[in-house]
Amino acid sequence: MAMAFSSCCFFRFSVPATAFMIGELSSALPAEGGYYAWVRRGLGNFWGFQEAWLSLAASIFDMAIYPTLFTIYLKQMVPWFGKVTTKILGGMVTLNHGLLAALFVVVTCVALNLAGIRVVGSLRSGCSSCCRCPSP
């Protein structure tokens, strides 16, 4: 029931608001720059500049929050990813497995971005297919 509700909400609110808007603007104003170009053309240089900086700030916070949230969820499900104090070479060392997991997520995302859009697209298609399949 929750999956059906989630899918209905996605198709009702997200698709029209985002995908159709971007499709309309891309075909009506075919300029490189996306949101920046559209806002600049519609509202002027000042608001185009504001939109560019706000998009940059939002992407910086997004890049920081997703690995952090992933690590928090992982620690809740598997306590091993919390801080662990172990004895290494005669001294006590505190290891943070959650930090290593977050670093792994960031490095994986960087590697995917460097690999190119075709690799990211095929991986996204595979992950979407797995998410839509019912679990046994």
Tell me: the pLDDT tens digits for 99-128? 888 888 888 888 888 888 888 888 877 777
pLDDT of residue 10: 66
Mean pLDDT of the chain: 80
Most confident of 9-13, 93-97, 108-112: 108-112
Task: Give 37-60 pLDDT, tens digit per residue.
Answer: 888 988 999 999 999 999 889 888
Those residues with Cβ within 8 angstroms of residue 82's Cβ, 6 or more apart along the chain or in another chain: 75, 96, 97, 98
**Cα–Cα distance, 107 to 34 (Å, whole number):** 27
Which residues, in sequence order, are bridge partners of residue 21?
A: none
Q: Which has more pLDDT, 30 or 86?
A: 30
The count of residues in the chain is: 136
**Interior angle at CA 101, CA 78 and CA 76, nearest 5:** 25
Tell me the average pLDDT across 60-89: 80
Domain ranges for the chain: 16-132
Those residues with Cβ within 8 angstroms of residue 41's Cβ, 6 or more apart along the chain or in another chain: 29, 31, 48
Tell me the average pLDDT across 11-38: 80
pLDDT of residue 15: 67
- Whether the full predicted model's pTM is greater than 0.75, yes or no, is no
